Copies of this chain bind each other. A is one copy, B any other.
Amino acid sequence: MSDQIKKPNRIKPELPSGFRDYGPADAIAKQAMIDTIRKTFERFGFDPLETSSVQRTEVLTGGEEDSGKIIFNVKGSQEETSDSSLRFDLTVPLARFMAANPDLPKPFKRYQIGNVWRGERPQQGRYREFLQADVDIVGSSLIDADAEIATIIYTVFKNLGIENFVINYNNRKMLDMLPKFAGFPEEKLWDALRIIDKKDKIGEDGIRGELEKNFSGSIADKILEFLTEDFEPTLQGEGFSEYGKIASMILQSTGCDVDMVNKFFKLERTLVRGLSYYTGSVFEVTLPDAPEIGSVCGGGRYDELVSQFTGQNIPAVGVSFGVDRLFAAMEKIGTLKKKQTLTQVLILQLDANLKDEYLSMAQELRNAGINTALYMGDDSMLKGQLNYALKKEIPYVVICGSREKEKNVVTVKNLATREQQEITREKIVEFFGKQAALCV
């Protein structure tokens, strides 16, 4: 290997701002999370769907301006102009897919785990590329579907080992009653909702101040009255009764008792969620042990989104788990299981004459389902190769030199306990077959 410098103008090995890599230890932990989420979705009868990362810009913006300025435009080197962009969520591409495939049997239950891109200003724990895990039921207007989504949220968090989570629930049908109750015109609903949505940031006093800039004092009072926790349920109509139905189905479908359900499933009357496409249930999950991460899962019912393509409404409900934010939260809480490698055994290469033996051992162990590496570095000495295994945190090494070969044995060393033992060459698969469970 020569050390010649090929390019005098070296290129900085940097990433664009707002993007990141996952090194092996992080990628192993993230992959385990993805596997858990995927298996949970499949248990509930969802199948995978894979939509394209690149979509027509018009599809993503709904034909309107990209008001949030979050879309990444994509342009090929051979193109003069471009009308394509990277998806910013997995919901809009799903709606497009449903519109393009009207004959799919419904309800259509799909999950998708894929990256999305948003050109937002990068900040702590927020990146411009991030992985979403979405689960949606399309073609069911039953409240059962909303309840199933809530049950899936519960089950995903349990399966990830997160015990302390809150599913904040609200219902757009309740918020839709606000103009009539408070006595302001329907057109001003979104002015009110935009203010209410800021409660986490500016507090109740802040909301009152902003409301009074847009509404009369008595209307502002009525709006705040509507949002109080013990506001008269009978005045809240269908949205409130849907909340009750969902809570009662969660009871049945999780096996939790009432106190437990009340602890993690909470009516949060000020929850709006920015997207205007929601029409009923709205969910947003927060982790009390990592409040600075914000929402780690959110979604709701969007019965009218598909209609922008077909003119016909198809009811739909679903949520999106923010896998990278969940990763950051679990890392902070301490529930993320990290390890440096998935490799269980490293076979050292100590004697060039025994290469065939090393290759055969590796093949036998791999065939038995044991993740096995053969040392391939520059160091021909035992000590250097052991050091490599220690740095990589590989649990076991197999040592076989001419002495072992003559005796028809191998030495197996556990690098955690530093214990080593000689085993008969033929017993190597049996030995690691038994140990494999311990290495995982």
- By a beta-carbon cutoff of 8 Å, the part of chain A in contact with chain B is 1-7, 9-16, 19-24, 26-28, 30-31, 42-45, 47-56, 58-59, 62-63, 66, 69-79, 83-84, 86, 96-97, 99-101, 105-107, 109-110, 115, 117, 119, 128-129, 137, 139-142, 144-145, 148, 155, 249, 252-255, 303-304, 307-313, 315, 340-343, 346, 349, 355-356, 359-360, 362-363, 366, 369-374, 376-378, 388, 391-392
A49→B74 contact, CB < 8 A: no
Closest to A29 in B: B48
A19→B52 contact, CB < 8 A: yes
Partner of A30, one of B50, B73, B101: B50
CB pairs A–B below 8 angstroms (18 shown) = A3-B313, A4-B307, A5-B307, A6-B308, A13-B96, A13-B100, A15-B56, A19-B52, A27-B50, A28-B47, A42-B371, A53-B129, A66-B77, A69-B78, A75-B75, A105-B392, A106-B377, A141-B378
B43→A10 contact, CB < 8 A: no
Least CB distance from A145 to B in Å reads: 5
| The 10 residue pairs across chains A and B that have the minimum distance between CB atoms | A45-B373, A76-B119, A13-B99, A22-B50, A252-B359, A27-B48, A19-B52, A24-B47, A69-B77, A13-B100
Given contacts A10-B310, A69-B77, A359-B253, contact A144 B62 (CB under 8 A): no
B56→A16 contact, CB < 8 A: yes
A48→B77 contact, CB < 8 A: no
B63→A9 contact, CB < 8 A: yes
Given contacts A74-B86, A105-B392, contact A342 B47 (CB under 8 A): yes
Least CB distance from A278 to B in Å reads: 14
Most buried by B among A72, A362, A376, A378: A376
Partner of A15, one of B50, B52, B70, B340: B52
A11→B313 contact, CB < 8 A: no
Task: State the CA gap A117–B76 with chains docked (Å).
Answer: 10
Least CB distance from A99 to B in Å reads: 4
Given contacts A62-B11, A77-B119, contact A109 B373 (CB under 8 A): yes
A1→B53 contact, CB < 8 A: no
A77→B84 contact, CB < 8 A: no
Task: State the CA gap A71–B77 with chains docked (Å).
Answer: 6
Partner of A74, one of B72, B315, B372: B72
Residues of B within 8 A of A128 (CB): 54, 76
Given contacts A62-B11, A71-B77, A376-B142, contact A303 B44 (CB under 8 A): no
A129→B52 contact, CB < 8 A: yes
Given contacts A16-B55, A100-B13, A119-B78, contact A50 B21 (CB under 8 A): yes
Closest to A314 in B: B1
